[in-house]
Structure 1
Amino acid sequence: MYKTRMPSLRSSSVVRISQHYTPGPKASVGLASILRAGWVEASPRRGIRRDTCPGDDVLYCLSGRGQVETAGKTYSVKAGQLIWIDGSQPHGHLSDGEDPWSVMWFRLACRDATGFRSRAMGEGQLRIEVSQASDLIGWFQHVFDIMASREIDTDLHLHSAVARFLQLISSENAPTGGSSLPPSLLRLTEAIRAAPHLPWSEQEMVQSAQISASQIRRLFQQHMASTPRNFLRQERITMAQSIMLESTAPLYEIAQTCGFFDAYHLSRDFRRFVGRSPKEWREMEIGV
């Protein structure tokens, strides 16, 4: 967490903040943390290029322009845009020659970087417009303060900060007011939750959502990182769990009640989503 300058920018760029954090042995209990964070006012055509790095870099452009290469694509980035760089692949970024950018950035280390990217940005999205700039800048300033403090519980504060960042960025992809889901997807998910035991053919989903099947699949992937069928299975399992705890009904009856073909299909999906068999889960939860 010592203030240092980035080597590739040392000669003429202004490094306003550069913080480091080295997680200790106990810090690994968290899902994600921040290894580095900073604020750089780059000189014209200054940047870096790497094969890989230990984590994903997330850049927010305060002013000016720049260019980012990540995941095999090149993106132009301007003021008010945030871009998520996949650190597991070759990548780089370069400030504009005429209007060099000022960027706040941080490096995220986590167990499932792909999942984090999809959850925050949307499936396949690496660059977004940020409408709540003051909230995001305030978040960066909070992270800088955490890393500068070097408190004994820095790791816990950084875990919390990552969660807040995901919340901030995912809200940028949500409609203003009400549910964060588009109305068509909201109609369908509420209908499925109300009656997960029904067959829910593709045509029935189309009638409920009032959009095409391909649009339904796209919206599920974009907003829920799932498929319609997986969402239906998950709701059926949730229904089965409630029945398993509230009754002594045998598994084959529960399977039929919840819309599964038979007890085998319930057990198969239950283990895939929950990580245990229905019998093991039931005994664990009721303390048998």
Structure 2
Amino acid sequence: MTLAFSWTILAFMKVIGGTQIYFHSSDPAVSPWPYQVAAGGRTHDPGSGGIVDRKYHQHTLILTLSGEGWIRVGDREVAAEEACLAWLDTSRTYAHRATPGNHWSYVWIALSGATLDNFFMQLNLRAEPVVDEMADLLPDFEGIIQQLASQHPLMDAHMNTQVAAILAKVFTKRAGTPPLNEVDPVSKVIQQLRKDLSRNWDITAMAVVAGLSQSQLFRRFQAATETSPVSWLRRERMVQAEHLLTVSSENVSAVAQRCGYADPFHFSRDFKRHCGRSPTAFRENARF
């Protein structure tokens, strides 16, 4: 029992540079809980590291512990000082790093859930991603990271309680912020794609969701994400596939179906282009 439990922790924890990362070890498709925490961790950026701009299928919340960093969303940069919360929708163009000469330490979680996109828009977090004076969130962040490290059978229940507490505190802090008058067309498309990655989407269907012509959607999507709608969808599917291949025991064909690929060969070809290895090789490396 002890050996198996220790293996689970080691299998889903990695140290990359100054970042200690804990990954969730279960399949989000079978979870009854509204929020899924894919990963969390602690980072110390000495000010000499590179810019972080990786793309994920989640919202990422960063709570600064000390020092100062900066967050770039689109063409706007915002300082993230001690005790600030930065909320990023990583499906869009963003970047962050320590301010040169500063040692920036922070904790973070990456999560998804049906209501998060609406929450993000209603509190205008896309335009104002940094919330000041949020030191009281630290126990919730640390609790989530500890749950990820433990891989306890009841971890999802505990983490959902802590995510709800974070959302409540952010909502209370930002409740007076004027919301956006409407959801922009690109956000509408992103929300629908995230909800159903397995659907056989094409640009025509996306344009209908956006209420735009195909050429208008392409231009506006490119401006918001620096990629085309089809390329964005393919990348999101590959991120989802990486997670499923790591945490589920489904065969490659089943994972392909869940990621919107009717043809396993087509899926394997796209996955190898994305990751540099086949789905089977990726799964073996991720687990062992």
TM-score (norm 2): 0.52
Cα 1:153–1:72, aligned 2, differ >3 Å: closer, same or farther? farther
Residue equivalent to 2:14: 4
Following the alignment from structure 2 to structure 1, what is the Cα–Cα distance between the partners of residues 48 and 116? Answer: 29
CA separation of 1:121 and 1:145: change in aligned 2, threshold 3 A: farther
Q: Which runs of 5+ in 1 are unaligned?
A: 175-180, 182-217, 227-288
Residue 241 (structure 1) aligns with: none
Structure 1 residue identity aligned to 2:171:
S
Offset at residue 117 of structure 1 (A): 1.7
Counterpart code for 1:136: L
Matching residue within 55, 58, 62 for 2:61: 58
Give the counterpart letter for 1:111 in structure 2: A
Q: Please tell me whether the aligned partners of residues 119 and 170 of structure 1 are also in contact (alpha carbons under 8 angstroms).
A: no
Aligned residue identity for 1:152: P
- For residues 152 and 59 of structure 2, what CA distance do their matches in structure 1 show? 24
- What is the deviation of 1:40? 1.1
1:13-52 per-residue CA deviation (whole Å, 9 max, x = no partner) reads 3x3x421103325644322221111111112132444362
Tell me the alpha carbon deviations over residues 158-204 of structure 1, each in whole angstroms, 9 at most, x when there is no partner: 22221111012222235xxxxxx7xxxxxxxxxxxxxxxxxxxxxxx
How do 1:240-259 and structure 2 match up within 5 A?
none
Decide whether aligned partners of structure 1 residues 149 and 120 sit closer, same or farther in structure 2, where only a CA change above 3 A counts.
Answer: farther
Match of 1:36 in 2: 39
Q: Following the alignment from structure 1 to structure 2, what is the Cα–Cα distance between the partners of residues 150 and 118?
A: 32
Question: What do residues 116-163 of structure 1 show as CA deviations (whole Å, max 9, x unaligned)?
Answer: 3245666743111025x1x21111121122112212222222222211
Larger radius of gyration: 1
Which runs of 5 or more structure 2 residues have no equivalent in the other structure? 1-8, 184-288
> Compared with structure 1, are the counterparts of its residues 115 and 52 closer, same or farther at alpha carbon in structure 2 (3 Å cutoff)?
same
Aligned to 1:170, the other structure's residue is in SS state: helix
The 1:120–1:151 alpha-carbon spacing in structure 2 relative to 1, beyond 3 Å, is farther
From 115, 120, 126, the equivalent of 1:117 is: 120
Q: What's the secondary structure of 1:89's corresponding residue?
A: coil
Kindly report structure 1 stretches of 4+ aligned residues shifted beyond 6 Å.
none
**What's the Cα RMSD here?**
2.8
**Identity over aligned pairs, percent:** 18
How many residue pairs end up in the alignment? 173
Contact 1:70-1:86 within 8 A present in 2 as well: no
Structure 1 residues 49-96: Cα deviation after superposition (integer angstroms, max 9, x where no partner): 436212111111111111112244322211121111111113221112
Instruction: Check 1:47–1:58 CA distance in 2 against 1; reply closer, same or farther (3 A cut).
Output: farther
Task: Supply the distance in 2 between the matched residues of 1:154 and 1:168 (Cα, whole angstroms).
Answer: 21
Amino acid at match of 1:156: A
The equivalent of 2:78 in structure 1 is 75
